[in-house]
Amino acid sequence: MSDGSTTTAEFVNPLRDPQDRRLPQIAGPCGIVLFGVTGDLARKKLIPAIYDLANRGLLPPGFALVGFARHDFGRQGFARLVKDAAKAGARTAWNESTWKQLYSGFRFVEGSFDDDQAWETLRTTLDDLDAKQGTQGNHAFYLSIPPGLFPVVVSKLKEHKLAEAPGNAWRRVVIEKPFGHDLESARELNAIVGEVFAPEDVFRIDHYLGKETVQNILAFRFANEMFEPIWNSNYVDHVQITMAEDIGIGTRAGYYDGIGAARDVIQNHLLQLLALVAMEEPISFNAASLRIEKQKILANVRAPERLDLHTAFAQYTAGWAGGQEVIGYHDEEGIPADSTTETYAAMRLDIGTRRWAGVPFYLRVGKRLGRRVTEVAVVFKRAPHLPFSSDDVEELGQNALVMRIQPDEGVTLRFGAKVPGTVMEIRDVNMDFAYGGTFVEDSPEAYERLILDVLLGDPPLFPQHQEVELSWQILDPIIQHWSRKKSIDSYEAGTWGPASADKMIARDGRRWRRP
């Protein structure tokens, strides 16, 4: 283990490209206190992202990383955990100079959340870092912990004056989803956090909003004039937003059961995607302007009156996925035999604005589906086909614009073209743009972008409490309707969901895409 003896003056990052404009800003003097350092999120996402930011020269030389946990790691043990996680999960190559620089700012505080002495130790540790590492009182508290512990940690930060920044310094808090489990709990959590931190110092992480392709929705819509005239109910028939996973719940039974697919994904990821697709053009891409337009959309989203006809929820049963035989949800370790938690959710939502009146938005999410994919499909109305006979267009579907979020990031435009030959026959063809085949640069991982934005105090990609509460207002009636049902539908693992979801969209004369 290195002793971290490299000085600030000696540190030169050879990997930083001065022409790289994707993450051009460098964080000033600061540190992160990471609660939940032993969890999957910290080890697989947060620590690798912090290392990658350092490797790209986007963290200050005196950056500090403080771990807080019950484990008796000590500084050396904490450093080993960080090193193992960074080597396993970082997307940039290992660099010993970067590691030495990071190591100099490592600290570890052992204790539980109800241990006041541990909180006092944390406070003196931050004071020591300010004096010796040059963090200048700037610290972000990252709550990578179960949601039920948020109020405890936030109250302790207040009690021990850790949320109070000296002079012109800052203190910020980062909260992972879910932001409550319904509207009432979200409001309670927002009130608790709001008593300790100012709104501009609260960062609610939705890692989907940090993905390059999600941000490209904004660029695609507002940088290309050819699409704006048809981005409305005059031309758009409907929109489908899909997040499909081919995996089961894995080791997440303790978290997932009782939460379910709708709370886990629709309340945050999919409703945010809906807002980005449907919003009006902001006057700029700063946080305030984006927030205003997203809130306008979410405030006008309505679920249909007949929730029994326009929503569906189900659990996966045993089947074949990815060429392997897999067990059903009730057979997963830690899942009660009588659980009615949904692993699949689908719903129709409508937006009561002039642009989108009469255009249904179909949202679906599920585990153990046919393949892993997240996409937004804007499906256009059929052309009148007046010059063509019915035989000419028999193989022609509807034009569609598909924005692929993951895993094959890109955009596909489906349109009709003549089949070569002597007769007039029109068939669907695809025009495809793939990020990997166009840009030689690797896209930053979502958490890189989001962590850097926290340290910069730049919040455009973070939903504020108004967006969170509006999302719960949309979803709560649907979940309450489901809770009153005594049974839950099922679907075989490896398929594309339950028959009830197919019937739901078929009632509107439409069908789900098969990505």
The catalytic residues are: 269
Question: CA–CA distance from 272 to each of 80, 155, 172, 174, 447 (Å)?
Answer: 37, 29, 23, 18, 17
- CA 288 to CA 232: how far, in whole Å? 24
Give the three-state DSSP class for 418: strand
Residues in contact with 384: Cβ distance below 8 Å, sequence separation at least 6, in sequence order: none
Alpha helices by DSSP H, listed for 1-60, are 40-41, 47-55
- Cα–chain center distance at 459: 14
Q: Which helix (H) or strand (E) holds 256?
A: helix 253-256
Which residue in 356, 103, 123 sits closest to 233, CA to CA?
356
Residues in contact with 226: Cβ distance below 8 Å, sequence separation at least 6, in sequence order: none
- Cα–chain center distance at 410: 18
Which residue in 506, 224, 259, 484 sits closest to 362, CA to CA?
506
Straight-line distance from the first to the last Cα atom of the chain, in angstroms, rounded to the nearest whole number:
48
Give the three-state DSSP class for 196: helix
Question: CA–CA distance from 386 to each of 23, 35, 383 (Å)?
Answer: 50, 64, 8
Whether the CB-CB separation of 343 and 315 falls below 8 Å is answered with yes
- CA 47 to CA 38: how far, in whole Å? 11
- DSSP conformation class of 395: B
- CA 496 to CA 373: how far, in whole Å? 12
Q: Burial, 330: exposed, middle or buried (Cβ in 10 Å; 0-12, 13-18, 19+)? A: middle
- DSSP conformation class of 484: T
| Sign for the pseudo-dihedral over CA of 70, 74, 75, 76 | negative
Question: CA–CA distance from 437 to each of 176, 433, 499 (Å)?
Answer: 33, 8, 37
Which residue in 475, 497, 422 sits closest to 244, CA to CA?
497
DSSP output for 86-120: HHHH-SSPP-HHHHHHHHTTEEEEE--TT-HHHHH
Strand partners, 313: 345
